[in-house]
Amino acid sequence: MIREALVFHFLDDLDSKLAAVRTALAGDSGEAEWSAYSRALGRKFLRLEEFLKDFTLTSPDKK
C-alpha cells in the first residue's frame, strides 16, 4: 500500500508541475522566446519553437 501511495504522490506532483509549465508557456510575456515567469516553479521557460524558428541546418561539407 505504501508503494502505491508514493507512486500516486509523485505522479500527482509531476502533473501539477506540467500544468504550471503549460500555463507559463500559454501566457503572454512580452518576449517571443521566453515564457512568463512561473512563480510556482521559480523560472521562465524557453519557447523552443520560437527559439529555433530562424535556425537552419546545414551540412558540414557546405560552407
Closest CA to 22 of 47, 49, 3: 47
9 within a domain of the structure (yes/no): yes
Residue 57: its pLDDT value, please?
67
42 within a domain of the structure (yes/no): yes
59 within a domain of the structure (yes/no): no
61 within a domain of the structure (yes/no): no
Lookup: cell for 9: 504522490
Compute how many other C-beta atoms are within 10 angstroms of the C-beta atom of residue 15.
10
Lookup: cell for 52: 529555433
Residue 49: its pLDDT value, please?
87
Residue 6 belongs to domain spanning: 2-51
**Which residue ranges in the chain fall short of pLDDT 70?**
57, 59, 62-63
Measure the CA–CA gap between 45 and 36, rounded to whole angstroms: 8
Measure the CA–CA gap between 8 and 61, rounded to whole angstroms: 51
Residue 52: its pLDDT value, please?
87
57 within a domain of the structure (yes/no): no
Total count of domains within the chain: 1
